[in-house]
Chains A and B, each alone.
Chain A
Amino acid sequence: NAGVTQTPKFQVLKTGQSMTLQCAQDMNHNSMYWYRQDPGMGLRLIYYSASEGTTDKGEVPNGYNVSRLNKREFSLRLESAAPSQTSVYFCASQSQGFSYEQYFGPGTRLTVT
């Protein structure tokens, strides 16, 4: 039981390049989330998927797209990377049952030069 996994762990991009961050969970959770973490700003929600087949914008969606590929996988795509997207990205998942907490992956550290 790996929990929430993310790939890659580190990535350096040049401005304008694209990439996809991958996230998978093996806990049969319905909801999945993408956050970015910046110093002094806590975690900000980029996109979320309350259930398979649905996605919605969070607080800071500009410059990103997501795909809920199936119940396990939720990917985040940067179509044209900008230096302002330099951040640490976390994926999380949550059951819709009584356990209300979210479970987080180890993060992807992205630098855009």
Chain B
Amino acid sequence: AQSVAQPEDQVNVAEGNPLTVKCTYSVSGNPYLFWYVQYPNRGLQFLLKYITGDNLVKGSYGFEAEFNKSQTSFHLKKPSALVSDSALYFCAVRDIGDSSYKLIFGSGTRLLVRP
């Protein structure tokens, strides 16, 4: 069965410092991996995805993520955090072989960037 783990409920970081939000996954086949962000009282917004190719993928708002197949991880990173990055972040996975295109989401990590 597919699953996603986000081991940290909350990540606290000072503005200007680098940030990392962790994600590990489990699928029976090869994964498609995604990061979404949710601001208060809003829907989820797509940040970035890994489908194939370069293990380091870049997305919106200066975020990037590194796919590590041996560690089954897809951690979200940003070199310099902004207060406006404070939000709820979700990692999601889809098994390439799943023809329903279903995404499995992690439980979410709240990022708090302090001034």
What residues make up the interface of A, taking CB atoms closer than 8 Å to B? Answer: 4, 31, 33, 35, 40-45, 48, 50, 56, 58, 90, 92, 94, 96, 100-107
Contacts and interface: CB of A to CB of B under 8 A. Distances in A.
A33 B46 CA distance: 15
Contact of A43 (B6, B32, B105): B105
A90 B88 CA distance: 15
B43 interface: yes
A56 B44 CA distance: 22
Interface SS of chain A: strand
B49 A100 contact: yes
Given A90-B44, A107-B43, A102 B105 contact: no
A104 B45 contact: yes
Contacts of B87: none
30 contacts: A31-B100, A33-B102, A35-B105, A40-B107, A41-B107, A42-B4, A42-B6, A42-B105, A42-B106, A42-B108, A43-B44, A44-B105, A45-B102, A45-B103, A45-B104, A48-B100, A48-B102, A50-B99, A50-B100, A90-B43, A96-B101, A100-B49, A100-B51, A100-B94, A102-B103, A104-B43, A105-B43, A106-B42, A106-B43, A107-B41
